[in-house]
Amino acid sequence: MGTARMHEERGRTVGGRDLGGPAEHHSWARRLRSWPRGRSVAGQTFLWLLAAVVLLVVAALAALVLQAQHYSKSDAEHRTAAAAIAVSQSPGMVQALESAHPSAILQPRAEQTRKSAGLDYVVIYNSRGIRYTHPNPQLIGKHVLGPYEYARKGPSTVTIATPLGLTVDTTAPIKRPDGSVAGFVSAGITAEHVTGVVNRQLPVLLGGTAVALALGMAGATLARRRLRRQTHGLGPSEMTRMYEHHHAVLHAAREGVLIVGGDGRLILANDEARRLLDLPPEPEGRPVQDLGLDPKLAGLLASGRVVTDEVHLAGDRLLAVNNRPTEPYGGQPGSVATLRDTTELRRLAGQAELARSRLQLLYDAGMRVGTTLNVVRTAQELADVAVPRFADFATVELADPVLRGDEPPLGTGTVRGLQIRRTAASGIRDDHPLYPVGSTMSFASATPEGLSLDTGRAVLAADLSQAHAWRSRDPESSDAILSYGIHSLISAPLQARGLVLGMVNFWRFGDSEPFGDDDVSFADELVARAAIAVDNARRFTREHTMAETLQRSLLPRGVPEQSALDLAYRYRPAHRGVGGDWFDVIPLPGFRVALVVGDVVGHGLHAAATMGRLRTAVHNFSTLDLPPDELIAHVDELVARIDQDEAAMEGEEGDGGRITGATCLYAIYDPVSGRCTMARAGHPFPALVRPDGGVEFVDLPAGPPLGVGTLPFETAKLRLEAGSRLVLYTDGLIENRHRDLEDGLTRLHSCLSRARTNGSPEEICTAVFDAMVQPNPSDDVALLVARTHLFAPDQVATWDVPHDPAAVSRVRSACVGQLTAWGLESFSFTTELILSELITNAVRYGTEPIHVRLLRDRTLVCEVSDGSSTAPHLRYAASTDEGGRGLYLVAQLAERWGTRYTERGKVIWTEQALTTTPGLFDAMPF
């Protein structure tokens, strides 16, 4: 068992490489089977031939080796048998076995026999298996290994595994004369000695094998080279696929293939080429000029010239031909041509290109029509986009209400409705006989124009010469149009949101193809899209007109009469939407004047309405005769409250209606003292032009815009000389998309510096507007210029009044004397009554200091001031009351009266017109 296992282990190892188990064996087998697949046919053929030669050589070598081994084994059996029998039958063997020292006698004899016969061992042992001889003396006297009883009947030769290896062993019995067995003789030779004979024959065998293998490889190599040239290195799968492709090209391909040799003869033509070119039967081998082809196509095929998608006529077909030479790609001189029928493809391509161009035109129309919110401009953009890509001429007719922003009535454009006006026209030529822009027209129902307005769809007149209703409407104009060459018309109604705004007419001229049904649907689509832009412009025009009307109604119609300032103003609304800029001039008591400039964020109706609310609020607060900072604080509080109310109404959904961010500047000028007090809420600085021509921007304390309410407002006080010019403006004057604030202020300063020193406010307004304002500004622009005056000393009279009732009469007498000096004796009585009441109240209820001032200008103003902040109240006394009629009397005698507060108290003032009012006291109840 150990010997067998040893031989099994040796069998799994070849040349020192482990071949592994069964799984590895199958993997190697798969690799060997798949190895040739990636090679060419010639390579695979070479490998298979080489494998066959090797197998044949190996088989022959194996046969020779086996035969030599057979002969060697047979020789070993004969030699061992002869030695064993000869020793067993040699004389004196029995006596030697039965002697006292058998080994001494038999060992020399056995070794001599072993060496002379060339055996590995000759062992003599008794019938019990005890050795008497052995090549290894140490084993003498020990029992033999393995069975031996089988040899009692006679000599027996076996091949057994021994410690020496695989051994040929012959055992012969040593018999006594009576036939009993006295012992045995075993002669053996191992496999190493057997193969030694074979090994001595191997050089001859291997030499013959090498010669045979070399001859086989040489033949396989020659066959491989020959086959490689024939197959161009292709493998079997490629050869099979090439044959399949060749068959498909010949019979299944839907593109014609022609192969022409270098001599101009046809080598191959597939079925599709035969069909497309209508080739005669069996055309291969014939010159291409003899195949009945078009001469240009035949010349191309014979020349081998390289072309790509060159179109040639073949009968009624248009073929796209591609021609390439074959020689650069391994073929013989010649060319291969492919033919493709493009007759239907070109028609479809033309339709696809037309559809693409129409889609592009619709896209361009969406981008170019409606770039402005001007109705006329939008109509012209529609006419321009259609020429010349869709029509040679295009005209747009709109109703007059549409141009004004209003909705047109029903039946617009027809004989029973409002006429429409040609608003825009465009064409490839300018000398066309179509009605000019500005013409008004209406259309009968039978004409293409009338039908389109009635049906609401585009109407086609493919041949205007056959449109009898159209020709009869205006025969002279129609004949001129036809004579000019205009031959086709599409009329499409311009309608949006259920309103017919007008119509669009498309005309074709000269050699242009007449309009078709596809053009009608496209015209409908184009006009429908453009109608939205026209209607948007119409609605914007309406809203803009309404907002501008509202804004102008809210702006001052002029400046009030007053003597303190010479005034001039300019206002220009934004081009794209009315804003909330405003200005105001408000006369105040004591011949003072308030100047106001403001700006509301945003544009449109909301901005204009908000401007009106703020202007009204400023007017109302000015009646309280508040200082500028207090008045702006009240307006700021009002704006914040309005924003809160509107935010609550909107449910906090947005601030689209809020007005936070509006700005305002409020200034009060006193012509008596020349003092100007002003405050601002986020508004630009006012400019001041001194009488000597110097220009500066008044450094007003900054204030937040109205509605923000983060900081208190502050006032600035300055004294202006007579002839100073105060310039107030909104930010639209100095800022726009192309000019920032710093640049605008610099330009305004430069413009004011160039003004004449004694220039009037009107001249300054004109110069500033011409230099600073564009024709179509993006924001409203308001400008107010005021030139100051100062009262002459003889127009003002003042008195200090002691806090003593007795002083009332003295001051009253002095005032009457001043009126006499002014030539106002007729007003002495009423003025004396007014002053008597006011001075008495000041002495009785007020505190010192008490002053009286008379101002004379267009009216007479009486002012009584004291240090108390308590204001008198007008009440109506009963007939039984002894007092309470003083202020009532003042209110009846004066044209106006009121109270204003100062830093040191209050002023009660009255104003009297310098005209006599007869019967002034007739209606008084006293």
pLDDT single digits (tens) 418-439: 888 999 999 999 999 999 999 9
Residue 136 to residues 120, 185, 430, 771, Cα–Cα distance (Å): 11, 16, 136, 139
Calpha distance 524→84 (Å, rounded) = 126
Residue-wise pLDDT tens digits, 204-242: 666 776 777 777 677 767 766 766 666 666 656 666 666
Residue 371 to residues 39, 368, 619, 769, 866, Cα–Cα distance (Å): 70, 6, 41, 28, 66
pLDDT value at residue 395? 95
Chain CA centroid to CA 596, Å: 48
Say if CB 662 and CB 601 are below 8 A apart. yes
Is the model more confident about 321 or about 28? Answer: 321
Residues 335-357 as b/e (b if ≥16 CB within 10 A, e otherwise) read bbbbbbbbeeeeeeeeeeeeeee
CA atoms within 13 A on the CB side of 135: 13
Say if CB 866 and CB 847 are below 8 A apart. yes
Helix (H) or strand (E) holding 499: strand 499-509
Residue-wise pLDDT tens digits, 744-783: 899 999 999 988 777 889 999 999 999 998 877 888 899 9
DSSP 723: T
> Does the bond joining 849 to the residue before it have cis omega, within 30 degrees of 0?
yes
Kindly provide the residue ranges of all beta strands, DSSP E only, lying in 245-362, ordered along the sequence: 256-261, 266-269, 307-314, 317-325, 334-341
**Which residues, 6+ apart, have CB-to-CB distance to 923 below 8 Å?**
none
pLDDT value at residue 8? 36
Residue-wise pLDDT tens digits, 326-381: 876 656 788 888 888 877 666 665 566 777 887 888 888 888 888 888 899 999 99
The Cα angle at residue 541 between residues 538 and 546, in degrees rounded to 5: 130
User: Rg of the chain over CA atoms, in angstroms?
Assistant: 65
Residue-wise pLDDT tens digits, 509-554: 999 999 998 899 899 999 999 999 999 989 888 887 777 777 777 7
* Dihedrals phi, psi of 61, to nearest 5 degrees: -65, -45
Average pLDDT over residues 547-568: 81
Statement: residue 490 has pLDDT above 90: yes
Q: Is the dihedral of CA 27, 33, 39, 43 positive or negative?
A: positive
Whether pTM exceeds 0.75? no
Average pLDDT over residues 803-832: 89
Structure token pair of residue 326: 């074959």
The highest-confidence range among 21-35, 404-418, 586-600, by mean pLDDT, is: 586-600
Calpha distance 459→490 (Å, rounded) = 6
Say if CB 289 and CB 302 are below 8 A apart. yes
Residue-wise pLDDT tens digits, 881-890: 444 566 777 8
CB atoms within 10 A of CB 442: 19
Which of 660, 616, 668 has its CA nearest to residue 637?
Answer: 660
Kindly provide the residue ranges of all beta strands, DSSP E only, lying in 305-372, ordered along the sequence: 307-314, 317-325, 334-341
